[in-house]
Structure 1
Amino acid sequence: MSNQILKMKRWQKQVQAGNECFNAHQLFAAVAHYQSAKQLAWHLFRYWEDPAEAVAVVIISYHNLADLYLRRLQPEMAGNELDRVHDSLLQEIATESDSPRYQALLSGLRRTYQALLEFNQQHRPDQVGALQDRYEAELLAG
């Protein structure tokens, strides 16, 4: 079994363990698992052969943490995770214009934008307009 497949299995185990802790309301333990999954996700992102899977793994890792922070009544932390994943994918797409990963990143950006928009509508309504303007500018730049 390749090193990357082993890392994917480790990522899956960390997410599963985080989900189990989350469901059992063991939120501090869940954070540790989700943080570990996030680190593994970035390593997989760099080397995983399927770009769509690689992007999805990264997004899932951040969104799990955002959900956890919302459960802990920490919307500012949740928003930070959603902002980070969106900004990280933006940085990646800037260097991938001629790459097979470009379409996967573009799809991922749509997903992270939608999550940010929904989050902002509920938790940061004063930032919805700025987010929409920023997204339009990002689309024009890309």
Structure 2
Amino acid sequence: MQHFRRTTQNANRLFEQGELVDAREHYLQALALAQVLFERWHDVDEAVAALVIAHHNLADLHLRLNQPHESADYLCAAHERLLQAAGEARLAQALRDAALRHSSRTYTELLNFIAEYGQYPRTARLLNRQAPAASELVAQTDNNDRTPAYGIH
């Protein structure tokens, strides 16, 4: 986890300095770490949050680059991965539960993105496929459960 945090902090520093190409490389490294360690971290909420943060940082970076289509792809990828994990019987129940809890946040972030930047092909496909389940999920999820703040800052 420390390596993920250091990599993300370095990327954040580069992002703030306007070194977006280098920041992107660090964010991609952080995402790779989060993906590899997703099932291995002892704190499931931390594991899920790291995966979401990595995706959302890349989405924010692509917005800065005026590439909302790529941002939409990262936001969708985060939400899809959590929904997939929530339904994966081979994963520990605690990780599945954490993925389900955090998916309400990724869903909300996706809706906020669409409200500001409009619909993109991947967002439309995802929301059309997931709308009934996602709406029910948001209604059932308790947002007071240690919900981390996502994004670069």
TM range (shorter): 0.7 to 0.9
Q: C-alpha displacement at 1:103, in angstroms?
A: 2.1
User: For residues 98 and 19 of structure 1, what CA distance do their matches in structure 2 show?
Assistant: 31
What letter corresponds to residue 118 of structure 1 in structure 2?
A: N
The residue that corresponds to 1:105 in the other structure is 99
User: For residues 63 and 3 of structure 2, what CA distance do their matches in structure 1 show?
Assistant: 25
What number of residue pairs does the alignment pair up? Answer: 134
Partner secondary structure for residue 2 of structure 2: helix
User: For residues 99 and 135 of structure 1, what CA distance do their matches in structure 2 show?
Assistant: 24
RMSD of aligned Cα (Å): 2.5
What letter corresponds to residue 104 of structure 2 in structure 1?
A: R
User: For residues 107 and 132 of structure 1, what CA distance do their matches in structure 2 show?
Assistant: 21
User: For residues 119 and 25 of structure 2, what CA distance do their matches in structure 1 show?
Assistant: 30
Q: Kindly indicate whether the alpha-carbon contact (under 8 Å) linking 2:41 and 2:47 is maintained by their aligned counterparts in 1.
A: yes
Match of 1:95 among 88, 111, 119: 88
Q: C-alpha displacement at 1:92, in angstroms?
A: 1.1
User: For residues 57 and 18 of structure 2, what CA distance do their matches in structure 1 show?
Assistant: 14
User: For residues 94 and 46 of structure 1, what CA distance do their matches in structure 2 show?
Assistant: 14
User: For residues 108 and 43 of structure 2, what CA distance do their matches in structure 1 show?
Assistant: 23
User: For residues 92 and 135 of structure 1, what CA distance do their matches in structure 2 show?
Assistant: 18
Are 2:134 and 1:135 aligned?
no
79 and 125 in structure 1: CA distance in 2 versus 1, 3 angstrom threshold: closer
Are 2:9 and 1:16 aligned?
yes
Q: Kindly indicate whether the alpha-carbon contact (under 8 Å) linking 2:59 and 2:70 is maintained by their aligned counterparts in 1.
A: yes
79 and 10 in structure 1: CA distance in 2 versus 1, 3 angstrom threshold: same
What letter corresponds to residue 32 of structure 1 in structure 2?
A: E
Q: Kindly indicate whether the alpha-carbon contact (under 8 Å) linking 2:39 and 2:95 is maintained by their aligned counterparts in 1.
A: no
The residue that corresponds to 1:121 in the other structure is 115
The residue that corresponds to 1:56 in the other structure is 49
Q: Which has the higher helix share?
A: 1
Q: C-alpha displacement at 1:104, in angstroms?
A: 0.7
Report the structure number with the largest CA radius of gyration.
Answer: 1
The residue that corresponds to 2:72 in the other structure is 79
Q: Write the deviation string for residues 24-48 of structure 1: whole angstroms up to 9, x where unpaired.
A: 0000000000000000001221100
How much identity, in percent, do the aligned residues show?
A: 34
What TM-score do you get using the length of structure 2 for normalisation? 0.78
User: For residues 99 and 48 of structure 1, what CA distance do their matches in structure 2 show?
Assistant: 14
